Structure 1
Amino acid sequence: MRDSHTDATSLQQDTAHASKVTLVGALFDALLGVVKIITGLLGHSAALIADGVHSLSDLATDVVVLISIRLGGRAPDQNHPFGHRRIETLGTVILGLMLLAIALGLIWQNALFLWQGQDSTVPTWPVLLVAGLSFSIKEGLYWYTIKAAHALHSELLNANAWHSRSDAFSSIVVLLGAGGAMLGVWWLDAVAAVLVAVLIGMISLQLLAGSLAELIDTAIPEQQQQSYRQLIVQTDGIHAINSLRSRTSGGKVLLELKLEVAPRLTASEAHLLGTQVKQQLQQQFPEIGDILVHINSSASEVSSSLQALNIRPALTRAIDQLLHSYQLNSNDVELNLYYQSPIQVDILLNAKAQQALHDVPQQQLEQQLQLLWPIAKTLNIRFYLLKTS
């Protein structure tokens, strides 16, 4: 199992990697945004201007991503024992809202242009050159960023990667729109600008839907849960999965498991089984972050009179009275309880108790205990005595 030091080191490495990828993207976004807008203004292309605004929106979102990664990459502390990964999710929501606002503004502006009618100016050839260059660069950035997103299991980097690809797609739309306008179809450039804006809007809605689902602790898909279940039940000693609850935080899957084991396992052995399950899940599925395991004994019904009743205190007092009559005390026995049907009670005797009770029949001890505590009749009680010769 990974220790806290290893987790902290891994978190720092992931944060540094994600920051580097985002900084590279931010540099290209800044250059492309400025070049596109200037070329669009000089080359009379509304579509390329919209695409330039799109690139500058990429730069703004890169800043959001960097801030979110730095803050979300902090290790857990006293005030945030579950870490800061939800900051990543919040950053994605902000990113989505920014893109949605930009998309609506571009749609409004170019819709008005189409309504007003034909413009006397048409795009010039540098528009096509810059749009083609933009496509090549942004598609390369997409593959560079998506590779890091998959390696780090970061939804925020994944969102930023698709934002880069949307810019690459929009550059193709600019090429078609500006090219069509240059060939005499004047409205194609404005239509291309609207299509770019619609593409930005669709991406923003996808980001918002995924992030808001995470913020309200939506469970992971059932097919993914089934993959986890199949691995868990293959662990020797795990009888059943009573419950599997899931949610996501900052791109990591968080699980809460209730696992059923044999009723007479020691606490340490049951804990070991839980640890094995955690190790296997995290090794097989890197997207899994924290796992909380509850261990249950075999599920079975107990009588209604004893349901939800802790019988140990009363049973201990009755056994103490019984032992006192044989000049023994509670230090001479060990009491093990198994809540099944009926409840099993194992009373283990040390050497002194075994010697004192050597000639006392098992049935006599059970009857004496039942006289002291009548509920003992409903239990399956065993005294572990040395066999008589």
Structure 2
Amino acid sequence: MRVPVQKQERYIAIRNVTILSVVANSLLTIVKITFGIIGNSHALIADGIHSFSSLAVDAMVLLAAKYSILPPDTRHPYGHGRYETLVTLAAGLLLIVMAIGLFSEAYEQLVGHKSPSEPTSIVLIIAFAAIIIKEAIYHYTVYIANQVNSPMLVANAWHHRSDALSSSIVVISVLGYMAGYLWVDAVATIIIASMIAYVGFEECLPAINKLIDTSINKDKRIKIKEIAESVNGVFFMHKLRTRKMGINILVDMHIVVAPRISISEAYKIAETVRHNLLDEMEEVVDVLVHIKPENTMNSLDLPQRNEITSRLQEQSIEVVEKIEKITLHYVDGKLLLDIDLPLNIIQNNNQARFISQQFADFAVNDPDIYAINTYYHGTVYDSPKVFQIDELHDFIQDKN
């Protein structure tokens, strides 16, 4: 499996922006709770607890960023990229939980006619400062997330924005209280909670899809197909299977090639497909290419080499023991055999035709064999060329 380029640099970028987040969340937690108590604002105290919960997400992000870059091992042969996916899911779930908490609080205010406490002006100052700080960190985190392609950082960025929205509720609560509209706080809370819940679901669903090996999007699948089928020797590609491992893509496919090419040529074609995908698609880190010869349907029940060899040995064909090589081709539910014999076992063209006819008769009487082609291979003293029947006459005449 290929290790993505600049993996260490990606980790450093995620680590640095998350450390900034830890510092900001720690300070805001202390300031909000302290001045919430001093300023007689339960909303600001709750907002401080909200900031404290974001520290848990920061810790998970740091751990995931560290462990997701570990190389593959025996227990994790595809790497550790799903640490990021798990943290993205956890962050999304926390957003949903926070939204439910806000809904509950708003419902209690509306139905239970619970009035907010009278806050002091210091609460407004702290809340405004928190909004500015959190929005700045949100935009910076999203910028880094786009630079390093990290859905996990995007999820964490939305925790910063949810903090900013939570602080905005505090501002609305204070202004509403000052204007005499006590219900404004609850309505604003419901709207903001809805936004946070929506973002939480938006983060959770892609993470869940990755964990259950959902395929990549259609455009990327089409691109993979185009790259594979552009390789010379590939008739077409099918049975494409893809899945995500963190930000990386794993690919499994079948390619159809000519039925009578050599194994080494087929392997070369498959390797070319694999390398082209790795070179042209940065997210692709592992490609498994299965080779399938064309027109090999219904060949599963056909005999293998040992059975064919056994059948030949049961025949009364004298030259069977002289066979140098048998090549089996599984085509259209039948076997096509290429048999190589040494050239020095025949004296004339008629003898060669007789031997070939014996093999042809055997093929006619065997239900699994479509035809047998007989070839004669010269030694270095005769000729290095491989002859078919029609080519033997002139060579034998010259030899004699």
Decide: shared fold, TM above 0.5.
yes
Over aligned residue pairs, what C-alpha RMSD do you find? 3.3
Which shifted more, 148-157 or 234-243?
148-157
Alpha-carbon contact 2:21-2:137 (below 8 Å) kept: yes
Which shifted more, 115-124 or 285-294?
115-124
Cα distance in structure 1, aligned partners of 2:123 and 2:185: 11
Equivalent in the alignment of 2:382: none
Cα distance in structure 1, aligned partners of 2:261 and 2:93: 53
Which shifted more, 275-284 or 171-180?
171-180
Cα distance in structure 1, aligned partners of 2:353 and 2:62: 74
Cα distance in structure 1, aligned partners of 2:162 and 2:224: 33
Instruction: Establish whether residue 280 from structure 1 lines up as the match of residue 276 from structure 2.
Output: yes
Equivalent in the alignment of 2:397: none
Shift of the 13–42 alpha-carbon distance from structure 1 to 2, 3 Å rule, reads same
Cα distance in structure 1, aligned partners of 2:305 and 2:179: 90
Which shifted more, 218-227 or 163-172?
163-172
Equivalent in the alignment of 2:307: 314
Cα distance in structure 1, aligned partners of 2:134 and 2:67: 27
Q: CA deviation at 1:38?
A: 3.1
Shift of the 62–209 alpha-carbon distance from structure 1 to 2, 3 Å rule, reads same
Which AA in structure 2 matches 1:232?
A
Cα distance in structure 1, aligned partners of 2:9 and 2:198: 33
Instruction: Establish whether residue 383 from structure 1 lines up as the match of residue 374 from structure 2.
Output: yes
**Contiguous gaps of at least 5 residues in structure 2:** 377-386, 395-400
Instruction: Establish whether residue 336 from structure 1 lines up as the match of residue 332 from structure 2.
Output: no
Cα distance in structure 1, aligned partners of 2:79 and 2:254: 23
Q: Deviations over 1:17-69 (max 9, x none)?
A: 32233222222122223323333443444544443333222211111222233
Q: CA deviation at 1:150?
A: 3.4
Identity of matched residues, %: 31
3-state SS of the aligned residue for 1:237? Answer: coil
Q: CA deviation at 1:296?
A: 1.1
Aligned residues: 377
TM-score (norm 1): 0.82
Cα distance in structure 2, aligned partners of 1:371 and 1:253: 53
Q: CA deviation at 1:323?
A: 11
The aligned runs of 1:365-380 (5 Å cut-off) are: 365-370=355-360, 374-375=365-366, 378-380=369-371
Which AA in structure 1 matches 2:267?
H
Alpha-carbon contact 2:313-2:320 (below 8 Å) kept: no
Q: CA deviation at 1:123?
A: 4.0
Cα distance in structure 1, aligned partners of 2:116 and 2:245: 53
Correspondent of 2:220 among 221, 224, 232: 224
Q: Which one has the largest radius of gyration?
A: 2
Q: Deviations over 1:189-216 (max 9, x none)?
A: 3443444444333333333323222222
3-state SS of the aligned residue for 2:331? Answer: coil
Equivalent in the alignment of 1:325: 318
The aligned runs of 1:63-102 (5 Å cut-off) are: 63-102=59-98
Which shifted more, 289-298 or 269-278?
269-278
Q: Deviations over 1:93-148 (max 9, x none)?
A: 33333333333233323432344436474444443433333333333323333343
Q: Deviations over 1:293-336 (max 9, x none)?
A: 2111114545xxx6532332233345567898349634xx2332
Shift of the 326–275 alpha-carbon distance from structure 1 to 2, 3 Å rule, reads closer
Alpha-carbon contact 2:360-2:371 (below 8 Å) kept: no
Q: CA deviation at 1:235?
A: 2.5
Correspondent of 1:292 among 277, 288, 292: 288
Which AA in structure 2 matches 1:20?
N
Equivalent in the alignment of 2:343: 354
Equivalent in the alignment of 1:268: 264
3-state SS of the aligned residue for 1:242? Answer: strand
Alpha-carbon contact 1:231-1:281 (below 8 Å) kept: yes
